[in-house]
């Protein structure tokens, strides 16, 4: 460890107002929106094996969810994956995790704004007599460019910028209402779809005759992880959650299995109602297209799914803007980035610099993606890279923290642990953590192997961020590859005190006292 220390800045504590339902809906507003994007995108490549692809990605997602549940309940602070990586692996790897998540937040803004506009375009044939695809043009080397859809997306991002600068955030009550209606709507689509429209012979036919090539299977499975990205939201909200040690495990576990069931159900239902080609052709509004074909409820379910999809994707896009400010807040506290990013506007009292800079990056990503043959596919490429890189580091950090910080109480632990003796203590080695790490690393490998844009743009982003990191650390007189001295024990005591987790605080202090006593006896 380097001897330099991070300058202490005055910290304004985030208020702990998030309840169990609020925490669940915070995550669902982000994770639950993903199936609206991923269904058509994954179907286009996984074809007749879409259900298998979603199930395999879902198993990896369950491992990711269990890891986040353990870490978020043990370290209930804003920062999420990069904070866990910083604490487990040090400053440099915390920066890498932070850059990966920042990439995801900017893509989050662009991807979900694009998808939100896509669901609004479900109504275009009723208004203009033709679908959004009729507005596509070609010029020079660019083909199938859709300027109308692009302008719609840019308008949504512009609206998000204005809303966040003025500080008018969506209320948690509105989030809960929209989320509850969406849960009911998605559940109704699945139930009525299986009852009145699902044909198992069509599913079997597509499985037998439309099974994808190995390349497409790998490509589709790497994209399927998109349908499960968003657990970061719960960990980002951990510092604002009441009694996080008990709330976060319950919230996360319920959310994990809700989203897993929905993702597998929608893909299985879809392949038993429509050819996968139909979903590929309607990549902008796949859930609405599916709902519209169900007898008895299709006339209402299709438009309702489109409205809900556009709304919940808009909210999810907004989490990208808000998440970037939370992340930069956390990273600036620990000397990873400059406090310049966390400055607050004197009139609006919002982090205007962060909002504008990262939203404008999303604007650039949007414009460039619409110059490709499929904007959603292109953005999904980069989203998958950032997510899998960040998740891989989180798994490594979880394993490392089991050994380097065995004193912090863990209200929830990933199941299946091997008891090992380490420095006089019994430490649980997380078997599922290793399996999850290998699973995510496999998906990251698939992204790099099969995603032409992702394997170029993703690492390029990390390298660009590294240039800034080197510049800032040298300017601040801080080491680049070594870690600054952090007082994690005092930090943890403050966190548990703030969270009013007094039982855990007492356990933590007793564990530290026992450790110190043994050290004195050895001396």
Average per-residue pLDDT for the chain:
85
pLDDT band per the 50, 70, 90 thresholds, residue 175: low
What burial letters (b/e) apply to 276-313, b meaning 16+ CB within 10 Å? Answer: bebbbbbbbbbbbbbbbebeebbeebbbbbbbbbbbbb
Q: Per-residue pLDDT tens for 139-153? A: 878 888 889 999 999
The pair of structure tokens assigned to 385 is 């890279």
Residue 332's nearest CA partner among 519, 86, 157, 122 is 86
Is the per-residue pLDDT at 516 higher than 60? Answer: yes
pLDDT at 464 over 80: yes
The residue among 49 and 134 whose pLDDT is bigger is: 49
Asked if residue 188 is part of any domain, the answer here is yes
Residue 451 domain flag: yes
Q: Is residue 511 part of a domain?
A: no
Lowest average pLDDT, out of 23-37, 115-129, 470-484, goes to 23-37
Phi and psi for 485 in degrees, rounded to 5?
-75, 115
- Whole-number Å distance between alpha carbons of 29 and 34: 9
- pLDDT at residue 523, as a whole number: 66
Determine, yes or no, domain membership for 498.
no
Please determine, for residue 196, whether its predicted confidence score (pLDDT) is greater than 90.
Answer: yes
Residue 178 has pLDDT above 60, yes or no: yes
Total of domains in the chain: 1
Percentages (nearest 5) of helix, strand, coil residues in the chain: 75, 5, 20
Would residue 43 count as lying in a domain?
yes
Least confident of 4-13, 309-318, 338-347: 4-13
Distance, in Å, from the CA atom of 442 to the CA atom of 448, rounded to the nearest integer, reads 10
pLDDT tens for 69-80 read 899 888 887 778
Whichever domain contains 112, its CATH number is 1.20.1740.10
**Interval 435-447: pLDDT, tens:** 999 999 999 998 8
Q: Assess if residue 69 is contained within a domain.
A: yes
219: containing domain: 20-486
Give the C-alpha separation, 65 to 249, whole Å.
Answer: 10
pLDDT in tens, 364-420: 999 999 998 888 888 888 888 888 999 999 999 999 999 999 999 998 999 999 999
Q: Kindly tell me if the per-residue pLDDT of 506 is higher than 80.
A: yes
| pLDDT digit string, tens, across residues 275-329 | 999 999 888 889 999 999 999 888 898 999 999 889 888 888 887 887 787 788 7
Name the burial class of residue 325, with classes exposed (0-12), middle (13-18) and buried (19+) by CB atoms within 10 angstroms of its CB. Answer: buried
Residue 345 belongs to some domain of the structure: yes
pLDDT value of position 253: 82
**DSSP letter assigned to residue 77:** S
Distance between CA atoms of residues 152 and 175, nearest Å: 23
**Is residue 9 in a domain?**
no
| DSSP for residue 484 | P
- Among 116-130, 171-185, 291-305, the minimum mean pLDDT is found in 171-185
Question: What pLDDT score does 212 carry?
Answer: 94
Q: What percent of the chain has pLDDT over 90?
A: 41
**Secondary structure (3-state) at 429:** strand
429 φ, ψ (degrees, to nearest 5)? -85, 120
């Amino acid at each position: 460890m380097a001897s330099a220390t991070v300058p202490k800045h005055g910290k304004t504590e985030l208020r702990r107002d998030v309840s169990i339902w609020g925490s669940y809906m915070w995550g669902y507003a982000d994770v639950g929106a993903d199936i609206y994007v991923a269904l058509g995108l994954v179907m286009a490549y996984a074809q007749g094996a879409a259900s298998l692809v979603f199930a395999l990605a879902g198993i990896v997602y369950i491992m990711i969810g269990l890891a986040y549940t353990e870490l978020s309940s043990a370290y209930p602070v804003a920062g999420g994956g990069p904070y866990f990586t910083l604490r487990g692996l040090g400053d440099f790897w915390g920066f890498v995790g932070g850059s990966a998540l920042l990439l995801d937040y900017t893509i989050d803004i662009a991807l979900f704004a694009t998808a939100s506009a896509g669901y609004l375009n479900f109504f275009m044939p009723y208004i203009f007599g033709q679908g959004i695809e009729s507005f596509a043009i070609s010029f020079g080397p660019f083909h199938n460019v859709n300027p109308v859809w692009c302008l719609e997306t840019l308008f949504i991002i512009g609206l998000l910028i204005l809303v966040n600068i003025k500080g008018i955030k969506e209320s948690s009550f509105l989030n809960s209402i929209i989320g509850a209606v969406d849960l009911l709507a998605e559940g109704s689509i699945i139930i009525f779809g299986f009852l009145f429209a699902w044909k198992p012979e069509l599913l079997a036919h597509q499985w037998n005759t439309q099974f994808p090539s190995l390349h497409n299977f790998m490509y589709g499975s790497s994209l399927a992880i998109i349908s499960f990205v968003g657990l970061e939201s719960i960990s980002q909200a951990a510092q604002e959650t009441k009694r996080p040690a008990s709330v976060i495990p319950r919230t996360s576990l319920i959310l994990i299995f809700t989203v897993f069931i929905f993702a597998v159900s929608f893909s299985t239902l879809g392949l038993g109602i429509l050819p996968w080609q139909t979903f590929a052709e309607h990549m902008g509004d796949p859930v609405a297209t599916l709902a519209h074909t169900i007898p008895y409820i299709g006339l209402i379910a299709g438009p309702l799914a489109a409205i809900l999809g556009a709304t919940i994707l808009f909210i999810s896009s907004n989490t990208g803007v808000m998440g970037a400010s939370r992340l930069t807040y956390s990273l600036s506290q620990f000397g990873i980035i400059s406090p310049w990013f966390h400055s607050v506007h004197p009139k609006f009292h919002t982090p205007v610099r962060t909002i504008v800079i990262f939203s404008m990056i999303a604007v650039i990503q949007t414009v460039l993606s619409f110059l490709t043959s499929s904007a959603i596919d292109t953005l999904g490429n980069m989203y998958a890279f950032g997510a899998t890189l960040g998740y891989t580091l989180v798994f490594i950090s979880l394993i490392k923290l089991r050994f380097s910080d065995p004193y912090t109480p863990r209200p929830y632990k990933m199941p299946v642990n091997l008891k090992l003796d380490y420095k006089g203590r019994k430490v649980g080695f997380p078997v599922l953590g290793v399996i999850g790490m290998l699973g995510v690393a496999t998906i990251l490998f698939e992204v790099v192997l099969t995603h032409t844009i992702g394997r170029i743009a993703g690492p390029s982003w990390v390298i660009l961020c590294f240039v800034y990191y080197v510049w800032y650390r040298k300017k601040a007189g801080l080491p680049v590859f070594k870690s600054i001295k952090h007082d994690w024990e005092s930090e943890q005591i403050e966190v548990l005190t703030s969270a009013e987790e007094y039982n855990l605080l007492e356990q933590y202090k007793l564990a530290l006292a026992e450790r110190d006593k043994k050290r004195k006896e050895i001396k």
